Structure 1
Amino acid sequence: MPEWLLPLAGAPLVAWHASYQHEAIHGHPTRIGWLNATLAGLPLMLWVPYGIYRDSHLKHHENEFLTDPIEDPESFYASRGQWALYSTPRRLLHRAVNTLAGRLVIGPLFVGALFLCREAMAFLRGRGRWKAWGLHVAGVAVLLVWLLLVCGMPLWTYILCFAYPGTGLLLLRSFAEHHAAREPEGRTAIVEAEKPFALLFLNNNLHVAHHTRPGMPWYRLPEYEVVRRLGASTAGERVYRGYREIARRWLFRVKESPVHPYR
């Protein structure tokens, strides 16, 4: 396969695996936590350990704090106090990743660098998560043996054709799935994704359904979403008609202010 074609296969592979990791965090395909972690733990994205992703994502599901820039580890917002301390280049960077193009192109570098800086600071303060990082290093070593010795693929090729664009695809899914709102029920959106994206994201684009029933396996979410809409009031919910609508709205426009309006 020519190298210029590799991202067309590599990016969906890494994003699909990340979707599978998300399922494992929520108790699938088995009810045995260590087995799910073993099956899903290979770090194809390279930059985030599975154990840390698991812990932060479960905290993200505490709806009381959803989108809060201090309490929600998956929030893209900043508090007013944080924003006041940011330099002009950092403010411009935050605004850039609030456009869809910026989120796809520089978003992987943005989230990866921010995460690694936070982890480095935690180690310097004596709060490093040694076990999670130890398992992560072991997983990266297995991946590198496969890439370098079996496939003969340079590491930079894997980063540029697999890990980086795969993380970008994952950020496409999360771009519009949460918004700041006073009430927890208004903070999560639904994207009625085109079929390839729905399969790639294992129906996690139906994000209200997922947050309502986080333990429900991915293949039951579409049916549950139909029942949920028939049986409950959906007034005020944000619904997007696929990722093409999101691209039309925010490809080069800032989706919203990076400063959380209620924090």
Structure 2
Amino acid sequence: MTRKPQDTAPRNGGIGIEWPTMAIATLIYGGWLALTWWHAALPTPVIVVAGGWLVAWHGSLQHETIHGHPTRWRVVNAAIGAVPLSLWLPYGLYRDSHVAHHRSPHITDPLDDPESRYVASSRGVRHVAARVQATLLGRLLFGPFLAVLALVADEGRRLARQPGRVARDWLPHLALVMPIVAWLEWTGFGTLRYLLLVVYPGLSLTLLRSFAEHRANLPGPSRAATVERAGPLGLLYLNNHLHTAHHDRPDLAWYRLPAHQRRHHARLSAQAGRAHRSYGEIVRRFALAPHDALVHPGRQDRR
């Protein structure tokens, strides 16, 4: 996460505000406040489902703001997305990593794409972590914990090389985390309980989306796959299940992606290779089976 590319997403042309995205942001933040305020009246399963949904939905909203939505003003978009409901990941790190992912000329290559799930070698800690998450069940159960560990390790190394940049990314994040933690403690929800019941399942939902959205042997330059029917998860992921379409037009707002997918279905399908029919299909195929090889095919001869 040491690369610092600039976000070049268009500023929405002549559109001042994208109201569908603003409505989603209002639902997320309003729902979060309601859930944490009235948590004592809610059964634990409701808290897990609703809280996990809201945190995952918020991650989808952050993704929209990184791509220049819902306004033409970068500072407003960042203000909408930077509230750290998940607590653990600074918005700036996510933004820089995701922009680098889109700009990578070799998407899925772990030495060039910071969001790659592949590893460069069959040895070491990273390979062990990838093996644990090779199946969908392993990714959902252990992926959130391993993602936080990976962030700690990466940021520890970066701190030794670039302490100023680490401070620039983390100090604003911690300043925003503090009032959230204070709110959780004041309402009696509790930070640890929030991490276990809300953040962890929310990150698992996000990892379900990203589990099969890229593969090194797909024909298109983005190596992106498509899930044709997402059901309610399409709203949760803000149509990012149409991942080939998103990489084709990363500037499009989430609610415009389905129309783009329909208009260019043949071309995008050729780029995506075999599309997944649904997330149900992904669960059936990969719950206990690996989605792909762990070592990137371009790195196998360098092991």
With the length of structure 1 as denominator, give the TM-score of the two structures: 0.92
1:70 aligns with 2:106: no
1:190 aligns with 2:208: no
Alignment-derived partner of residue 155 in structure 1: 191
Cα distance per residue 1:216-237 (max 9 Å; x no partner): 0000000110001156672662
Alpha-carbon contact 2:223-2:272 (below 8 Å) kept: no
Q: C-alpha separation between the residues in 1 aligned to 2:239 and 2:293?
A: 28
Q: C-alpha separation between the residues in 2 aligned to 1:168 and 1:124?
A: 30
Alignment-derived partner of residue 65 in structure 2: 24
Q: C-alpha separation between the residues in 1 aligned to 2:222 and 2:178?
A: 42
Cα distance per residue 1:11-49 (max 9 Å; x no partner): 000000000000000000011111111111111111110
With the length of structure 2 as denominator, give the TM-score of the two structures: 0.80
| Shift in alpha-carbon separation, 1:233–1:93, aligned structure 2, 3 A | closer
Alignment-derived partner of residue 147 in structure 2: 111
Q: Which runs of 5+ in 2 are unaligned?
A: 1-41
Between stretches 119-128 and 20-29, larger displacement belongs to 119-128
The number of residues matched between the two structures is: 257
Q: C-alpha separation between the residues in 2 aligned to 1:161 and 1:260?
A: 34
Paired AA for residue 65 in structure 1: H
Alpha-carbon contact 1:182-1:262 (below 8 Å) kept: no
SS of 1:204 mapped into structure 2: coil
1:79 aligns with 2:120: yes
Paired AA for residue 168 in structure 2: K
Alignment-derived partner of residue 209 in structure 2: 173
Alpha-carbon contact 2:239-2:258 (below 8 Å) kept: yes
Alignment-derived partner of residue 246 in structure 1: 282
| Shift in alpha-carbon separation, 1:231–1:46, aligned structure 2, 3 A | same
Paired AA for residue 136 in structure 1: H
| Shift in alpha-carbon separation, 1:201–1:230, aligned structure 2, 3 A | same
Cα distance per residue 1:41-63 (max 9 Å; x no partner): 11111111001100110010024
Alignment-derived partner of residue 23 in structure 2: none
1:9 aligns with 2:50: yes
| Shift in alpha-carbon separation, 1:158–1:236, aligned structure 2, 3 A | closer
Alpha-carbon contact 2:244-2:272 (below 8 Å) kept: no
SS of 2:275 mapped into structure 1: strand
- Identify the structure with bigger relative contact order (alpha carbons < 8 Å, sequence gap 6+): 1
Paired AA for residue 111 in structure 1: A
Q: C-alpha separation between the residues in 2 aligned to 1:182 and 1:3?
A: 41
Q: Which runs of 5+ in 1 are unaligned?
A: none
